[in-house]
Amino acid sequence: MQGVVDSNYMFTDVSVKLPGSTHDATVFKESGLFKNSSTLIPRHTKLINGVETPLFLIGDPAYPLLPWLIKPYTGSLNAAEESFNCHLSSARIVVENAFGRLKGRWRCLTKRIDVNPTFVPQVVLACAILHNFVEQQKESYLEIGNDVAICRNEEKGRTARPSLSATMSPMRRKSSDQALPFVACEVARRKIA
Protein backbone atom coordinates (compact mmCIF):
# COMPACT_ATOMS: atom_id res chain seq x y z
CA MET A 1 0.00 0.00 0.00
CA GLN A 2 1.27 3.45 -0.89
CA GLY A 3 -0.35 6.28 0.99
CA VAL A 4 -0.19 10.04 1.19
CA VAL A 5 -0.93 11.28 4.70
CA ASP A 6 -1.73 14.77 5.95
CA SER A 7 -0.78 16.25 9.31
CA ASN A 8 -4.02 14.92 10.85
CA TYR A 9 -3.16 11.24 10.17
CA MET A 10 -5.65 11.16 7.29
CA PHE A 11 -4.93 9.26 4.08
CA THR A 12 -5.42 11.69 1.19
CA ASP A 13 -4.29 9.31 -1.56
CA VAL A 14 -3.99 5.54 -1.53
CA SER A 15 -2.66 3.10 -4.12
CA VAL A 16 -3.01 -0.65 -3.64
CA LYS A 17 -2.49 -1.88 -7.19
CA LEU A 18 0.74 -3.89 -6.89
CA PRO A 19 2.01 -6.64 -4.55
CA GLY A 20 4.22 -5.84 -1.56
CA SER A 21 7.31 -7.28 -3.25
CA THR A 22 7.22 -4.54 -5.93
CA HIS A 23 9.89 -1.83 -5.52
CA ASP A 24 8.63 1.45 -4.04
CA ALA A 25 9.70 3.50 -7.07
CA THR A 26 7.74 1.21 -9.41
CA VAL A 27 4.62 1.40 -7.24
CA PHE A 28 4.95 5.18 -7.18
CA LYS A 29 5.33 5.48 -10.97
CA GLU A 30 2.26 3.28 -11.48
CA SER A 31 0.14 5.25 -9.00
CA GLY A 32 -2.58 7.71 -9.86
CA LEU A 33 -0.73 10.28 -7.74
CA PHE A 34 2.29 10.20 -10.05
CA LYS A 35 0.29 9.95 -13.27
CA ASN A 36 -2.11 12.76 -12.30
CA SER A 37 0.20 14.93 -10.21
CA SER A 38 -0.49 18.02 -12.30
CA THR A 39 -4.14 17.96 -11.23
CA LEU A 40 -3.84 16.37 -7.76
CA ILE A 41 -1.06 18.45 -6.23
CA PRO A 42 -1.93 22.06 -5.40
CA ARG A 43 0.45 24.57 -7.01
CA HIS A 44 0.25 27.30 -4.38
CA THR A 45 3.17 28.70 -2.42
CA LYS A 46 3.61 30.01 1.09
CA LEU A 47 5.94 32.79 2.19
CA ILE A 48 8.43 31.28 4.68
CA ASN A 49 11.25 33.51 5.98
CA GLY A 50 10.85 35.75 2.94
CA VAL A 51 11.01 32.86 0.44
CA GLU A 52 8.06 31.72 -1.68
CA THR A 53 7.96 27.99 -0.90
CA PRO A 54 5.79 25.53 -2.87
CA LEU A 55 3.95 22.57 -1.40
CA PHE A 56 6.13 19.46 -1.24
CA LEU A 57 5.31 15.89 -0.54
CA ILE A 58 7.93 14.17 1.60
CA GLY A 59 9.18 10.76 0.52
CA ASP A 60 11.77 8.31 1.73
CA PRO A 61 15.02 7.66 -0.21
CA ALA A 62 13.35 5.08 -2.49
CA TYR A 63 11.25 7.78 -4.15
CA PRO A 64 12.52 10.00 -6.97
CA LEU A 65 13.33 13.64 -6.35
CA LEU A 66 10.71 15.72 -8.20
CA PRO A 67 9.71 19.40 -8.19
CA TRP A 68 6.83 18.48 -5.83
CA LEU A 69 8.42 15.51 -4.00
CA ILE A 70 11.33 16.03 -1.63
CA LYS A 71 13.43 13.28 -0.09
CA PRO A 72 16.43 13.02 2.25
CA TYR A 73 20.02 13.44 1.14
CA THR A 74 21.96 10.18 0.75
CA GLY A 75 25.64 9.28 0.77
CA SER A 76 28.34 11.20 2.61
CA LEU A 77 26.62 14.21 4.18
CA ASN A 78 27.83 17.53 5.54
CA ALA A 79 26.36 19.07 8.72
CA ALA A 80 23.70 21.09 6.87
CA GLU A 81 22.50 18.02 4.93
CA GLU A 82 22.38 15.94 8.12
CA SER A 83 20.36 18.68 9.81
CA PHE A 84 17.98 18.81 6.83
CA ASN A 85 17.54 15.02 6.96
CA CYS A 86 16.84 15.20 10.70
CA HIS A 87 14.08 17.79 10.20
CA LEU A 88 12.66 15.87 7.25
CA SER A 89 12.65 12.67 9.30
CA SER A 90 10.74 14.34 12.13
CA ALA A 91 8.08 15.41 9.62
CA ARG A 92 7.86 11.83 8.32
CA ILE A 93 6.86 10.52 11.75
CA VAL A 94 3.25 11.51 10.99
CA VAL A 95 3.02 8.94 8.22
CA GLU A 96 4.53 6.21 10.41
CA ASN A 97 1.95 7.01 13.07
CA ALA A 98 -0.89 7.04 10.53
CA PHE A 99 0.05 3.58 9.26
CA GLY A 100 0.32 2.38 12.88
CA ARG A 101 -3.12 3.77 13.69
CA LEU A 102 -4.55 2.21 10.52
CA LYS A 103 -3.22 -1.21 11.53
CA GLY A 104 -4.30 -0.63 15.13
CA ARG A 105 -7.88 -0.09 14.04
CA TRP A 106 -8.04 -2.70 11.30
CA ARG A 107 -6.25 -5.71 12.72
CA CYS A 108 -6.93 -7.68 9.52
CA LEU A 109 -4.08 -5.62 8.01
CA THR A 110 -1.54 -7.07 10.46
CA LYS A 111 -1.93 -10.64 9.23
CA ARG A 112 -2.80 -12.64 6.14
CA ILE A 113 -6.17 -11.47 4.82
CA ASP A 114 -8.39 -14.51 4.24
CA VAL A 115 -10.20 -13.36 1.10
CA ASN A 116 -9.71 -14.06 -2.57
CA PRO A 117 -6.48 -12.20 -3.53
CA THR A 118 -8.37 -10.17 -6.13
CA PHE A 119 -10.38 -8.56 -3.28
CA VAL A 120 -7.38 -7.61 -1.13
CA PRO A 121 -6.97 -4.13 -2.72
CA GLN A 122 -10.64 -3.35 -2.02
CA VAL A 123 -10.31 -4.51 1.61
CA VAL A 124 -7.18 -2.38 2.15
CA LEU A 125 -8.78 0.65 0.48
CA ALA A 126 -11.94 0.22 2.56
CA CYS A 127 -9.82 0.13 5.72
CA ALA A 128 -8.10 3.40 4.70
CA ILE A 129 -11.44 5.09 3.98
CA LEU A 130 -12.91 3.90 7.29
CA HIS A 131 -9.71 4.96 9.06
CA ASN A 132 -10.27 8.52 7.81
CA PHE A 133 -13.87 8.42 9.03
CA VAL A 134 -12.93 7.30 12.54
CA GLU A 135 -10.03 9.79 12.67
CA GLN A 136 -12.55 12.57 11.95
CA GLN A 137 -14.72 11.22 14.77
CA LYS A 138 -11.70 11.19 17.14
CA GLU A 139 -12.24 7.48 17.80
CA SER A 140 -9.71 5.52 19.81
CA TYR A 141 -7.20 3.13 18.24
CA LEU A 142 -5.00 0.27 19.35
CA GLU A 143 -1.30 0.91 19.84
CA ILE A 144 0.48 -2.26 18.84
CA GLY A 145 3.91 -2.96 20.28
CA ASN A 146 5.78 -5.70 22.10
CA ASP A 147 2.81 -8.07 21.59
CA VAL A 148 0.59 -5.76 23.68
CA ALA A 149 -2.34 -3.76 22.34
CA ILE A 150 -3.34 -0.61 24.23
CA CYS A 151 -6.53 1.24 23.42
CA ARG A 152 -5.82 5.00 23.08
CA ASN A 153 -8.03 8.02 22.74
CA GLU A 154 -5.88 11.12 22.20
CA GLU A 155 -8.65 13.58 22.94
CA LYS A 156 -9.11 12.13 26.44
CA GLY A 157 -5.42 11.24 26.83
CA ARG A 158 -6.18 7.93 28.50
CA THR A 159 -7.24 4.38 27.85
CA ALA A 160 -10.69 4.41 26.28
CA ARG A 161 -13.44 2.12 25.05
CA PRO A 162 -12.84 0.12 21.86
CA SER A 163 -13.36 2.24 18.78
CA LEU A 164 -16.18 2.19 16.31
CA SER A 165 -13.78 0.63 13.81
CA ALA A 166 -13.48 -2.50 15.96
CA THR A 167 -17.15 -3.26 15.37
CA MET A 168 -17.43 -2.37 11.67
CA SER A 169 -16.71 -4.78 8.83
CA PRO A 170 -14.85 -3.69 5.67
CA MET A 171 -16.87 -2.43 2.71
CA ARG A 172 -16.10 -2.83 -1.00
CA ARG A 173 -15.01 -0.13 -3.46
CA LYS A 174 -14.58 -0.48 -7.22
CA SER A 175 -11.28 1.39 -7.61
CA SER A 176 -7.99 0.14 -6.18
CA ASP A 177 -6.28 3.49 -6.76
CA GLN A 178 -8.62 6.02 -5.16
CA ALA A 179 -7.76 9.68 -4.70
CA LEU A 180 -9.22 11.01 -1.47
CA PRO A 181 -9.60 14.73 -0.62
CA PHE A 182 -6.09 16.17 -0.94
CA VAL A 183 -4.27 18.01 1.84
CA ALA A 184 -1.08 16.00 1.69
CA CYS A 185 2.23 16.21 3.45
CA GLU A 186 3.87 12.83 2.95
CA VAL A 187 3.95 9.85 0.63
CA ALA A 188 5.11 6.49 1.86
CA ARG A 189 4.64 2.82 1.17
CA ARG A 190 4.18 0.09 3.75
CA LYS A 191 3.78 -3.63 3.35
CA ILE A 192 0.44 -4.77 4.71
CA ALA A 193 0.52 -8.24 6.34
What secondary structure does DSSP assign to 21-79, as a single string? Answer: TS-HHHHHHHSHHHHTHHHHS---EEEETTEEEE--EE--TTSPPBTTEE----SS--H
Average of per-residue pLDDT values in the chain: 78
Taking CA atoms, 120 is separated from 47, 81, 117, in Å, by 43, 40, 5
pLDDT in the model for residue 15 = 92
Percent of all residues in the chain with a pLDDT value above 70, rounded to a whole number: 74
> What is the rounded average pLDDT of the residues 129-157?
69
pLDDT band, residue 132 (cuts 50/70/90):
very high
Output the pLDDT for position 144: 61
Q: What pLDDT is recorded for position 114?
A: 86
This prediction's pTM: 0.72
Does residue 36 register a pLDDT over 90?
A: yes
